[in-house]
A and B are shown apart, each in its own frame.
Chain A
Amino acid sequence: MTNTCTLFQQQNGVAKCANRTIMEFTRNMILAQGLELEFWGEAANTAVYIKNRCPTKSFDPKTPQEAWSGRKPYVSHLRIFGCKVFAHVPDEKRTKLESKSMSCVFLDIMKAPKHIA
């Protein structure tokens, strides 16, 4: 492990800057949707997911995700963090007259199926 001098954070610039970006994403997503602050964990996860699929100065013209996996990332499944979504309730889990969908709040992009309404 190469350690930088304690209290001399500039040497650890890459990680510091990334954490700051993540915090900005997180704060913004929570406040814009008026969510409870305790959702910061989900927001931070989403922030990193988005950050990996956004342009970066240091690896032009690819996104970090493409540089990492070699495949162009797919983003059409992205939804606004904290927005209202409807999840499908499978036939086995409902009776004939019950609602076919369940309204939820969208919080986790990683676990979301790719066909959310």
Chain B
Amino acid sequence: MEFDKDGYKVNNARKVVVVEARRDKNLYLLNVKVRKDTPHIVNSLEESAMLWHERLGHLNMASLKELDAMVDGVNLKEVSLHRICEGCIKSKHEITSLPKDEITRASQLLEIIHTNVCEPMRTTSHGRAQYFFTFIDDFSRKTHVYLLKAKGKVFEKFKQYKALVENKIGHKIKVLRSNNGGEFVSKKFDTFLAKCGIQ
């Protein structure tokens, strides 16, 4: 491709000009010369695999490979299984599973505390509670449960739980792990955790 002040030219391997464009201010006006000996469609193997993939309603590549032997009129020699198609990503994207080896287990009591609030119950309990939420010690899997009228009370209950277990076990909570729900994210909560040195 050659640029000059009047426009640009595209040469093929034999230095023959195949495309010429005239420059008009910031616009390049294409003047396409179609030569008879130039192939119009670049029909590489990969592209035709993609073409058939799209023609067959974004059929998966493994089936496409099998299809070649089953029908006439499709001429595929090589199908790459890992070709990325944007349409497929948009419509078929799934969550990749979490790597198992990254899960860390606590080596002593109160090292990691898991917490989660349940979905609201339709029936309120006798104490008018609508939620229950749990604290689970990762090391022993000892569970504590609290009933709640509203999610906003999580902070109060956490303080209660913290006092209870730290008094019982004798050392402090190191890590609190939650699902980042609204009830766990507040300035008050964050400041309290920072003050107690909980990660």
Seen from chain A, the residues whose Cβ lies within 8 Å of a Cβ on chain B are 1-6, 8-12, 14-16, 18-19, 22-23, 37-42, 44-45, 47-48, 51-52, 56, 58-59, 62, 64-65, 67-69
Contact = CB atoms under 8 A, between A and B. Distances in A.
Nearest to B142: A68
Given A37-B123, A41-B129, A67 B178 contact: no
Residue of B129, B140, B180, B198 with most chain A CB atoms under a 10 A cut-off? B140
Nearest to B181: A6
Contact of A64 (B98, B142, B175, B184): B142
Interface in B140-185: 140-145, 147, 168, 175-181, 184-185
Contacts of B176: 1-2
B132 A44 contact: yes
B141 to A, nearest CB: 4
Given A14-B138, A51-B143, A67-B139, A3 B184 contact: yes
A69 B114 CA distance: 18
11 contacts: A3-B180, A14-B177, A18-B141, A18-B143, A38-B125, A41-B125, A41-B147, A45-B145, A48-B143, A62-B140, A68-B142
Nearest to B192: A1
Contact of A68 (B121, B137, B190, B193): B137
Contacts of A19: 116, 118, 132, 134
B116 A42 contact: no
Contacts of A44: 132, 145, 147
A15 B177 contact: yes
